[in-house]
Amino acid sequence: MIAYAIRRVVLMVPLLFAVATLTFFLMHSVEGGPFDSDRPISDATRARLNERYNLDGSLLTQYTNFIANTAQLDLGISTSSNERAITDIISEKFSVSIQLGICAFIFAVLLGVTLGVVSAMNQNGIGDYVGVFIATGGAALPSFILAPFLIILFALKLDWFDVLGWELWNYKKMVLPSVALGMLPGAFIARIARASMLDVLRQDYIRTARAKGVKEFSVITRHAVKNAMIPVLTVLGPIFAGLITGSFIIENAFAIPGLGNAFVSSVLIRDYGLIMGVTLFYAGIIAAMNLVVDLAYAMADPRIRL
Amino acid sequence: MATETTLQPFDFARDPFATKQRGLWEMAFQRLIRNRLAFVSAIILIFITVLAISAQLVPFIERHDATVQQYSIVNEGPSSEYWLGTDILGRDMWARLLYGTLFSLKIGLGTQLIVLLVGITIGMGAALGGKLSDTILMWFTDLAYAFPDLLAIILLRQVLFGRDWPIIGTGDPQIPGFPSAILGTILAISLVSWVTIARLVRGQMLSIKEQDYVLAARSIGASPWRVVRAHMLPNTLSTVIVSVTFGIPLAIFAEGALGFIGLGVPSPYTSLGALMGDGYAYLFVNNWLVVWPAIMVAILMLCFTFLGDGLRDALDPRTRK
């Protein structure tokens, strides 16, 4: 398994290299550049600027420079934020994104597991219909549909929460974005949890537990839920990766200064360094998460041999 | 000579099975109709599509021109004259919503058309083209998979919107009804989402290749092309159809997300995403502007998802409860 992990890590290098190459040439194939503005700048200034930000020379020179620097984990400086180092910006913005991601993840897991368990226990009853309805509705309603409704209702009409921003431990700013982002994965988890719970409740060991006089609450929590969560655990990895890399829309909707928001604006203002940095960073995270998930499968299920 | 009216033995066998013979597709269709949720969804989708198309043709349904600005009636709520109210420039929201819906439907369907072509070609090429092509094509698939979807769509959208569009000749709507704004969005989304279908087709083809009926067909001398066309493709079809049905709402979602973060189609075109983005920018001024497109996107996504669920159950009887 260690050999497998090492092989996968080594294979990540050509993948990231390809991602970097593709993104580089894609971005530079668009006309215009980071120093285009309404106010014309003189050729001399433009040349100096290009030199400062390693944007001079032919495309091929720029490319080789870029790859050589990236290989040493030096992503250069940003053309848009006062020459700050790209790695600096990414780590600052990502710390916000990951807070949002974790909050949404916690919400999704709580919502999904609760809904799943409740609907499975009242199969075909009222609780089941409500649970399935929320799960189906939530699964088809993307975050950007949910966000405006949440804002209109809970921030503008009821004034319970703030409309914009993000601040750790300030529930007024944390609840709405987390709910909007976590609803979809929550609904997905609920579906899986319900199916798995229904399956487990029919198993013989549940009947045994009841037969030997275990209290119903204990049967559910200690015997049923514990076993029903295994299929849920297997989807948590991809969901978490999706939440921390997929918060563009919610960060934009709630004006949260996270990495997704930074990426969108860097695309608009052609901050090449930041675009490349964020793309590589995200691609790296996704590759790493996939590896972690595969390894976790292998550890959880001895039948899988890597 | 008397007419033969006497009953013969085994006469009943002349009309042995009065029950109608039904093929695979007819049976699937029957099952789909019996699935109430999927059936109602299909009806709603057809209704919305017809409404959106006819609004472009019949002024009676469009009611007001979607592009006419009336500064005396900006930001009005729903009324009997302007059913869904007016936007910040006094344009009728009903007309704009239908226009945007048609745009988004075109994007959803157009994306899946390209995804279908690219996905099936690459999936088939990987499964049937030998070891080398499998390795190369799957490496491409992994590469496309390594990009976070939305990030890649945003990048591609910028790249595709930044250039002129002489793909086939010049002039803007090169394909009637599909101006460059639609084509750019469709290409950006489909270049990201072909991966799923390529993997599905490859997996299906690899397992079908080993089936006995393929062996039988080959042993009686069917040409490889005939085996693929007559035996293998039809058997991947149900997977592909289901994947496409789920792909349409995903494309509409992607377009909506682009519009929402301000990267939608440029004026004068509008899509559901662009409408949402505009409405969200004026959330404090006029709540209605974001509500209508949001409801429409929600209806489209729910209906396509239910239809997809229904199709999956109908086409694969084994998964039925």
Chain B interface disruption, residue of A16, A28, A144, A159, most B CBs within 10 A: A144
For residue A176, pLDDT over 50 is answered with yes
Nearest residue on chain B to A146, judged by CA atoms?
Answer: B294
In this structure, how many other beta carbons lie within 10 angstroms of the beta carbon of residue B274? Answer: 27
Give B54 to chain A, closest Cα distance, Å.
Answer: 26
Q: Which residues of B86-117 are buried (b: 16+ CB within 10 A; e: fewer)?
A: bbbebbbbbbbbbbbbbbbbbbbbbbbebbbe
Judge contact between B307 and B38, C-beta under 8 A: yes
Q: What pLDDT does A43 receive?
A: 79
User: Which among B150, B163, B279 has the least Cβ separation from residue A248?
Assistant: B150
Chain B interface disruption, residue of A12, A94, A145, most B CBs within 10 A: A145
Q: Could you write out the three-class secondary structure of chain A?
A: CHHHHHHHHHHHHHHHHHHHHHHHHHHHCCCCCCCCCCCCCCHHHHHHHHHHCCCCCCHHHHHHHHHHHHHCCCCCECCCCCCCEHHHHHHHHHHHHHHHHHHHHHHHHHHHHHHHHHHHHCCCCHHHHHHHHHHHHHHHCCHHHHHHHHHHHHHHHCCCCCCCCCCCCCHHHHHHHHHHHHHHHHHHHHHHHHHHHHHHHCCHHHHHHHHCCCCHHHHHHHHHHHHHHHHHHHHHHHHHHHHHHCCHHHHHHCCCCCHHHHHHHHHHCCCHHHHHHHHHHHHHHHHHHHHHHHHHHHHHCCCCCC
What is the pLDDT of chain A when averaged over all its residues? 84
Q: Alpha-carbon distance B256 to A152, whole Å?
A: 19
Closest by alpha carbon to B274, among B77, B104, B154, B108?
Answer: B104
pLDDT digits (tens, 9 = 90+) for B79-117: 777 777 787 777 888 888 998 999 899 999 999 999 999
Q: Give the mean model confidence (pLDDT) for residues A280-299.
A: 83
Nearest residue on chain B to A28, judged by CA atoms?
Answer: B159
Distances (CA, A) of B256 to A63, B41, B290: 34, 20, 12
Residues counted in chain A: 306
Structure tokens at A229: 């969560």
Closest by alpha carbon to B85, among B275, B294, B277, B292?
Answer: B292
Q: What pLDDT does A134 receive?
A: 84
Q: What pLDDT does A101 receive?
A: 92
List alpha helices for chain B, DSSP H.
24-34, 36-57, 59-62, 93-128, 131-146, 149-161, 180-209, 212-219, 224-226, 233-260, 272-281, 288-315
Q: Give the mean model confidence (pLDDT) for residues A127-139.
A: 83
Q: Alpha-carbon distance A211 to A165, whole Å?
A: 54
Q: Which residues of B186-199 are buried (b: 16+ CB within 10 A; e: fewer)?
A: bbbbbbbbbbbbbb
The lowest-confidence range among A84-88, A187-191, B303-307 is A84-88
Q: Among positive and negative, which fits the CA dihedral A172, A178, A183, A186?
A: negative
Whole-structure pTM value: 0.82
The lowest-confidence range among A99-113, A131-145, B306-320 is B306-320
Q: What pLDDT does A107 receive?
A: 94
For residue A296, pLDDT over 80 is answered with no
Judge contact between B297 and B276, C-beta under 8 A: yes
Q: Alpha-carbon distance A233 to A252, whole Å?
A: 30
Q: What pLDDT does A242 receive?
A: 84
Q: Which amino acid is at A217?
A: F
Q: What pLDDT does B263 receive?
A: 84
Closest by alpha carbon to B42, among B53, B54, B29, B55?
Answer: B29
Structure tokens at B114: 């390209």
**Terminal CA-CA length for chain A:** 6
Judge contact between A166 and A256, C-beta under 8 A: yes
Structure tokens at B138: 């799957």
Residues counted in chain B: 321
The lowest-confidence range among A134-143, A220-229, A256-265, B197-206 is A134-143
A15 and chain B in contact, CB less than 8 A:
yes
Place of tokens 């487990």: A200
Q: What pLDDT does B13 receive?
A: 60
Judge contact between B300 and B45, C-beta under 8 A: yes
What residues in chain B have per-residue pLDDT under 70?
Answer: 1-22, 162-174, 317-321
Q: Give the mean model confidence (pLDDT) for residues A272-296.
A: 85
Give B176 to chain A, closest Cα distance, Å.
Answer: 26
Place of tokens 């045994």: A208
A49: which residues sit within 8 A by CB, 6+ positions away?
A35, A41, A55
Q: What is the CA radius of gyration of chain B?
A: 25
> Do residue A248 and residue B257 have CB atoms under 8 angstroms apart?
yes
Q: Give the mean model confidence (pLDDT) for residues A108-118.
A: 91
Strand partners for B175: B178
Chain A interface disruption, residue of B253, B261, B288, most A CBs within 10 A: B261
Q: What pLDDT does B112 receive?
A: 93
> Do residue B261 and residue A286 have CB atoms under 8 angstroms apart?
no
A/B interface, count of CB pairs below 8 Å: 113
Structure tokens at A141: 């309603």
Q: Give the mean model confidence (pLDDT) for residues A208-214.
A: 90
For residue A64, pLDDT over 80 is answered with yes
Q: Is B17 exposed, middle or buried (0-12, 13-18, 19+ CB in 10 A)?
A: exposed
Q: Which amino acid is at B106?
A: K
A124 and chain B in contact, CB less than 8 A:
no
Q: What pLDDT does B320 receive?
A: 47
For residue A162, pLDDT over 60 is answered with yes
Percent of chain A with pLDDT over 70: 96
A264 and chain B in contact, CB less than 8 A:
yes
Q: What pLDDT does B109 receive?
A: 92
A142 and chain B in contact, CB less than 8 A:
yes
Higher pLDDT, B145 or A15: A15
> Do residue B279 and residue A248 have CB atoms under 8 angstroms apart?
no
B78: which residues sit within 8 A by CB, 6+ positions away?
B84, B85, B288
Judge contact between A100 and A181, C-beta under 8 A: yes
